[in-house]
Structure 1
Amino acid sequence: MLGLSAAASFMVILDMLVVATALSTIQRDLGASLEDLEWTVNAYTLSFACLILTGAALGDRLGRRAVFAAGLAMFSLASVACALAPSVGTLIAARAVQGAGAALVMPLALALLNAAFPPERRGWALGVYGGVTGLAATVGPVVGGAITQGIAWQWIFWINVPIGLLAIPPLLARTPESRGVRAPLDLPGLLLSGVAALGIVWALVRGNAAGWGSAQTLVPLGAGIAAGVGFVLRERVATAAMLPLRLFRSRPFAGGNVVIFFANAALLGAIFFTAQCFQVSYHHGAFVAGLWLLPFGVAPLLVGPRAGALADRFGERSLIVVGALCLAAGMGWTGVVAAGGGSYLALVVPLTLGGLGIALTIPAATRAVVSRVAPAEMAKAGGTFSTLRQLGGAFGVAVLGAVFSAAGGTFGGGFRSAMLVAAALALVASAAGALSLQGRPRPETAHQSAQRVTA
């Protein structure tokens, strides 16, 4: 199950970034406008973020293995549609379906993984999973650049098809079916959560282009916030809540979700602008720019599988605090050096330091969230975690984009300011971990915490 969950997560996260380095080629081949290009990215993010909690709820009701397999099939078939798209409109629609498939995969991957391992091995498994997920965010630009320049942009989608389809038979043959509490679907909750995520993400991804004070931004943002408040009120009284609010009584659960929001905001925002900086300021193609980001992926590959054992020894709080501080230092350092035209050798250390931060932070935050709930509610916990992760990524790109534009919109002062903001977001993640998580774990702490949450 670890291999299947990690592979599915890698495929889903990779597809969020692999398109970025192919956008100019897609624009030329399909005659797309700049706004069309934005929506090839945003359509995926929007449907992904809006439907994650729905995917978790369907898994609890219909069977996690079955819904996970359906998500893999949907993602793979949508990838075929992306590769064969004759127009940019078709591509955008297929990307939205891809995001829906990803929303079925991600929360259930965590739930099935957590259920497949006993408590003493769960930390190691989550460490591997978190490391692979962090690595996907780093190698996305490399893969996208290599495929686009070496073959054709359509192949960034074709590569998903064998991965997704080949994973389904062993999943159905070797993974036992599991469900959450048998209860009716919380249809008002599903609707409110979808509207809340749609409104907020829509405002974030359109804010820079439309203007943060425009009706195109403020109306969906207000509707999203209102729906979010309605969702909370609904879940307080629902007999079969899709997100039991009592889960947030656990400080590790609440803190881990705050950590992943701000850590992913720093990560995706920084990668988005750093990849462009390497192309614009250093005059490299997409492939070389992606290769320059590889030091950022070394630590997730090497340290990620050991993060669970480190959390057992030192506690989740220590890993998150130290990891987020490393991420902050690496991002701020990279911004100062690159904006000043420093050599690539001068960037290797800060990029590696930032990667180390991700390698420590993401697995520890994942473990803090999913290890504090009962098995029957793991899909809901995973759905919440994945939703906040996607919202954080959209928030980070939007905020860094606004700062970049306000500071001149150049890969000098603008890039430096954006990267310093990324460092500040990572510092917030570090503070959240320090304030909400416990120190060095004691035996059976996670079990006791889960008992308290589900009591």
Structure 2
Amino acid sequence: MEATTDKRISSTWILILTSLGFFMSMMDSMIVTTASTAIRTDFHISVNTLQWALNAYNITIGAVLLVGVSLGERIGRRRIYNIGIFIFTLGSVFCALSSNINVLIVARIIEGIGASVMTPMSMAILTHALPASERGKALGIWSGIGGLALIVGPSLGGLIVAKLTWQWIFWINVPIGLVAIYLSKRILPESTGNSDKIGLLDSLLVIFASAGIIWSLSEITAASSKVISALVGILSLVLGIWFIVRQKNESKPMIPLKYFRSKVFTGGNVATFLLYAAMYGVVFFLPQFLQVVGRADSLTAGLEILPWTGTLVVVAPFAGKAVDKFGEKLIATLGLILQGIGYLLLSILVTEQSSYLIMIIPLALAGIGLSMAGPALQKSVLGAVDPTSIGKASGIYNVFRLMGGALGTTISVIVFYRFGNTIDVSSFTNGFRAAMMCAGLMSLMGILFSFWVKDNN
């Protein structure tokens, strides 16, 4: 009986410590959103520049993720997990000490390097450490805690900014990170996977191509010299093509291109890209709109987002069951439609004089849609490959998700400035409505690719 109790305690601690890393990584992409207005005011910067406080983090995670996964599989998952938490914590210190936006962006890149391994390694450690009979429930709890970060992040960020200063959204990571490293080293088991050699050139190509393409898109509308932005974009595309050619010719590629011969795998990933491109554009602008136009303080803005983010915890468990019962294609398509309709309604209904109440139903519809499409597309992508390839397929899925978020934010900023600006409330509202229209259309575009999805039941 005592041995069984000790085993249960050990399993509980493994779940807590792996979920903590995932929670920290997810929350830091969200907690900045309600602090964005305070950061923009403090540093006297434009929305175009502010986007990099969010984009630098997401781009870095997406670009470095596959490299981090390979390192963990080769030299130890727990070791890389703890190194990731340490780098993330160090980056948080630099973020809190940032004196200008450029320093903050560099610090967010450091945070992103650490976060890039926290999510995949925590999932791998949890999956490897627990018996098959406990994995399903544990992974469900792990996913739920990650989803909880989407709810807690904006609200907690708003509370911290309202009561303290925006720098404290980063300081809180420090004690949590140090405790997590200490306990993980003592409690979490070590494990390894395949020992494929990590290609330095491939790693550099995917990092610079990803960051360069998004940077050039965001700068080409604002830069004094559009030639430089265009040249960087072209060079980044060349690097991306070079990376793809190398992957095609390598025996053990970082991204096996054979996966993309499957319409199910390709469609699921592209639909995921568009799903999160739409979502992150809204994540970036919604808190700013609530504060600039709605005149809410940071805490109130964080709470007003809850009809959108709160649906993730309420709907996600039912969405998972619905996917099992009705299939991935139907639930993914319906989810993309609902998210798109929600954002389009925001674009149509919101004015500079309108009440916040008019936003509640559109936000809830969009949240329900995201809660449905997310797990459906993930199951479709992972079900399109054989079981031995799930690790790499999961990494590719997350790269599409994160890159979609980064590119979606950039496109939304471009659209915002095309139709509005930050000069006054009326201009901000015009830009916000255009950005919401763009987000809605991106979500609806995903339907074209969700039709490629095949049910794996």
2:104 is the counterpart of 1:104: no
2:189 is the counterpart of 1:157: no
1:239-290 CA deviation, whole Å, 9 max, x = no partner?
2211222222343332221122101111010122222221222222222122
2:380 is the counterpart of 1:363: no
Query: Hey, what's the Cα distance between the residues in 1 that align with 2:139 and 2:377?
Result: 10
Query: Hey, what's the Cα distance between the residues in 2 that align with 1:372 and 1:421?
Result: 30
Query: Hey, what's the Cα distance between the residues in 2 that align with 1:303 and 1:128?
Result: 14
2:3 counterpart residue number: none
1:423 counterpart residue number: 440
Query: Hey, what's the Cα distance between the residues in 1 that align with 2:98 and 2:261?
Result: 47
SS state at 2:192 partner: coil
2:285 is the counterpart of 1:279: no
What are the residue-to-residue correspondences of 1:54-73 with 2, within 5 Å? 54-73=67-86
Q: How far is the alpha carbon of 1:206 from its aligned partner?
A: 2.6
Query: Hey, what's the Cα distance between the residues in 2 that align with 1:283 and 1:159?
Result: 27
Please say if residues 138 and 271 of structure 1, whose CA atoms lie closer than 8 Å, have aligned partners that are also in contact. no
1:305 counterpart residue number: 317
2:445 is the counterpart of 1:432: no
User: Structure 1 residues 119, 223: CA separation in 2 closer, same or farther (over 3 Å shift)?
Assistant: farther
Query: Hey, what's the Cα distance between the residues in 2 that align with 1:21 and 1:421?
Result: 21
Query: Hey, what's the Cα distance between the residues in 2 that align with 1:256 and 1:338?
Result: 32
- Aligned identity (percent) is 36
SS state at 1:153 partner: coil
Query: Hey, what's the Cα distance between the residues in 1 that align with 2:242 and 2:324?
Result: 38
2:57 counterpart residue number: 44
What are the residue-to-residue correspondences of 1:49-448 with 2, within 5 Å? 49-85=62-98, 89-113=102-126, 115=128, 128-169=141-182, 171-172=184-185, 175-210=188-223, 214-339=226-351, 341-373=353-385, 377-409=389-421, 410-433=427-450, 435-439=451-455, 441-442=456-457
Of 147-156 and 2-11, the range deviating more from structure 2? 2-11
Q: How far is the alpha carbon of 1:422 from its aligned partner?
A: 0.9
User: Structure 1 residues 146, 346: CA separation in 2 closer, same or farther (over 3 Å shift)?
Assistant: same
Gaps of 5+ in 2: 1-13, 422-426
Query: Hey, what's the Cα distance between the residues in 2 that align with 1:253 and 1:259?
Result: 10
Q: How far is the alpha carbon of 1:193 from its aligned partner?
A: 1.2
1:363-382 CA deviation, whole Å, 9 max, x = no partner?
22222233444565444223
Of 351-360 and 54-63, the range deviating more from structure 2? 54-63
1:22 counterpart residue number: 35
**How many equivalent pairs are there?**
438
User: Structure 1 residues 423, 89: CA separation in 2 closer, same or farther (over 3 Å shift)?
Assistant: closer
Q: How far is the alpha carbon of 1:130 from its aligned partner?
A: 4.8
The amino acid of 1:438's aligned partner reads K
Please say if residues 108 and 379 of structure 1, whose CA atoms lie closer than 8 Å, have aligned partners that are also in contact. no
2:6 counterpart residue number: none
Query: Hey, what's the Cα distance between the residues in 2 that align with 1:133 and 1:155?
Result: 21
Query: Hey, what's the Cα distance between the residues in 2 that align with 1:323 and 1:122?
Result: 27
The amino acid of 1:144's aligned partner reads G
1:62-86 CA deviation, whole Å, 9 max, x = no partner?
2223212211121122212322445
Please say if residues 316 and 371 of structure 2, whose CA atoms lie closer than 8 Å, have aligned partners that are also in contact. yes
Of 309-318 and 319-328, the range deviating more from structure 2? 309-318
1:6-39 CA deviation, whole Å, 9 max, x = no partner?
433332232223224334544666x564476554
User: Structure 1 residues 343, 36: CA separation in 2 closer, same or farther (over 3 Å shift)?
Assistant: closer
1:223-253 CA deviation, whole Å, 9 max, x = no partner?
2221111111111111221122222234333
SS state at 1:339 partner: coil
Please say if residues 123 and 309 of structure 1, whose CA atoms lie closer than 8 Å, have aligned partners that are also in contact. no
1:380-428 CA deviation, whole Å, 9 max, x = no partner?
2232222222211122122222222222342444322221221111112
1:131-180 CA deviation, whole Å, 9 max, x = no partner?
54455345433222210111222210122224333334554455544433
Query: Hey, what's the Cα distance between the residues in 1 that align with 2:284 and 2:40?
Result: 18
Please say if residues 126 and 366 of structure 1, whose CA atoms lie closer than 8 Å, have aligned partners that are also in contact. no
2:424 counterpart residue number: none
User: Structure 1 residues 28, 325: CA separation in 2 closer, same or farther (over 3 Å shift)?
Assistant: closer
User: Structure 1 residues 267, 324: CA separation in 2 closer, same or farther (over 3 Å shift)?
Assistant: same
Please say if residues 57 and 185 of structure 1, whose CA atoms lie closer than 8 Å, have aligned partners that are also in contact. yes
Query: Hey, what's the Cα distance between the residues in 2 that align with 1:136 and 1:428?
Result: 27
The amino acid of 1:426's aligned partner reads S
2:21 counterpart residue number: 8
Query: Hey, what's the Cα distance between the residues in 1 that align with 2:434 and 2:271?
Result: 22
Of 300-309 and 160-169, the range deviating more from structure 2? 160-169
Q: How far is the alpha carbon of 1:118 from its aligned partner?
A: 7.5
Query: Hey, what's the Cα distance between the residues in 2 that align with 1:117 and 1:306?
Result: 25
RMSD: 2.9
Of 302-311 and 274-283, the range deviating more from structure 2? 302-311
Q: How far is the alpha carbon of 1:40 from its aligned partner?
A: 3.5
1:448 counterpart residue number: none
Please say if residues 266 and 426 of structure 1, whose CA atoms lie closer than 8 Å, have aligned partners that are also in contact. yes
Please say if residues 77 and 192 of structure 2, whose CA atoms lie closer than 8 Å, have aligned partners that are also in contact. yes
User: Structure 1 residues 411, 89: CA separation in 2 closer, same or farther (over 3 Å shift)?
Assistant: closer
Of 106-115 and 262-271, the range deviating more from structure 2? 106-115
Query: Hey, what's the Cα distance between the residues in 2 that align with 1:110 and 1:263?
Result: 22
State the TM-score, normalizing by the size of structure 1: 0.86
State the TM-score, normalizing by the size of structure 2: 0.85
User: Structure 1 residues 40, 399: CA separation in 2 closer, same or farther (over 3 Å shift)?
Assistant: closer
SS state at 1:436 partner: coil
The amino acid of 1:305's aligned partner reads P
User: Structure 1 residues 63, 286: CA separation in 2 closer, same or farther (over 3 Å shift)?
Assistant: same
User: Structure 1 residues 80, 288: CA separation in 2 closer, same or farther (over 3 Å shift)?
Assistant: same
The amino acid of 2:84's aligned partner reads G
